[in-house]
Structure 1
Amino acid sequence: MAESTAGPLHAFLAGVGQDGRGRLAVDVLNFSDCDLEAVHDYIQWLFPLQSRSAAQPHSPILTLDEIAAIRADPRAVATLKAATERLLRFYRDTQWWLISHDHNHLRITRILHSLRLLVGPDEAIAFHKAILALHEAAGAPVNTRSLHFWAKAAGDVGP
Structure 2
Amino acid sequence: MSGPLHAFLAGTGRDGAGRRLADVLAFGDARIEGVHDFIQWCFPLAEASRAVPGAPVLTPADAEAIRTDAAARAGLTAAAARMARFYEDTDGWLRPYDHNHLRITRILTALRDLSGDEAAQAFFETVMRRVRAAGSPVNADSLAFWQRALG
* CA deviations over 1:46-76 (Å, ceiling 9, x no partner): 0000000001121110111110000000000
Residue 127 of structure 1 corresponds to which residue in structure 2? 123
Q: Tell me if 1:94 matches 2:62.
A: no
Q: Tell me if 1:21 matches 2:21.
A: no
TM (norm. structure 2) is 0.98
Aligned-pair CA distance for 1:99: 0.1
CA distance in 2, matches of 1:151, 1:133: 14
What CA RMSD, in Å, does the superposition of the two structures yield over aligned residues? 0.7
CA distance in 2, matches of 1:129, 1:91: 11
Residue 34 of structure 2 corresponds to which residue in structure 1? 38
TM (norm. structure 1) is 0.94
Is 2:9–2:76's contact at 8 Å kept on the other side of the alignment? Answer: yes
Paired residues for 1:41-120 under 5 Å: 41-120=37-116
Residue 6 of structure 1 corresponds to which residue in structure 2? 2
Is 2:66–2:72's contact at 8 Å kept on the other side of the alignment? Answer: yes
* CA deviations over 1:71-116 (Å, ceiling 9, x no partner): 0000000011111110000001100000000000000000000000
Is 2:97–2:139's contact at 8 Å kept on the other side of the alignment? Answer: yes
CA distance in 2, matches of 1:113, 1:133: 19
Q: Secondary structure of the equivalent of 1:77?
A: helix
- Runs of 4+, deviation exceeding 3 Å: none
Which runs of no fewer than 5 residues in structure 1 stay unpaired?
none
